[in-house]
Amino acid sequence: MADPSHVLEQDDVQVREDLTMGVGPVRILDSQVKQLRGKEIKTVKVLWDEATQEMTWEMEDVMRKSYPHLFAGKFSFSMTKNSKGGSTVRSTEIN
């Protein structure tokens, strides 16, 4: 007779036709603005998976369009200058 304590519950996993799974961002961890050739490049550090701690830097404008709910928090800003005369503005989410 089978042991009922060894029964696994089935997870509902959504798989697309091309056999990929849709994964959305969990939250924004950090952001920065880099000055490159007179242009400001805004990026955000995105946590994609809490279990694996997978995170990447993404373009802020793309993330704002795709995931506007991630930008509802408040941010604290700081600026640092580098040895090449450029500067980086960083912001950190305040919880």
Is residue 11 in some structural domain? no
Is residue 64 in some structural domain? yes
Is residue 50 in some structural domain? yes
Is residue 55 in some structural domain? yes
Structural domain for 47, as ranges: 23-86+88-92
**Into how many domains does the chain fold?**
1
What sign does the CA torsion over 72, 73, 79, 80 have?
negative
Is 50 within 8 Å of 26 (Cβ atoms)?
yes
Is residue 67 in some structural domain? yes
Is residue 12 in some structural domain? no
Say what the pLDDT of residue 18 is. Answer: 75
Report the predicted TM-score, pTM, of the whole model to 2 decimal places.
0.57
Is residue 35 in some structural domain? yes
pLDDT in tens, 49-92: 888 889 999 999 999 999 888 887 655 556 666 666 666 666 66
Is residue 60 in some structural domain? yes
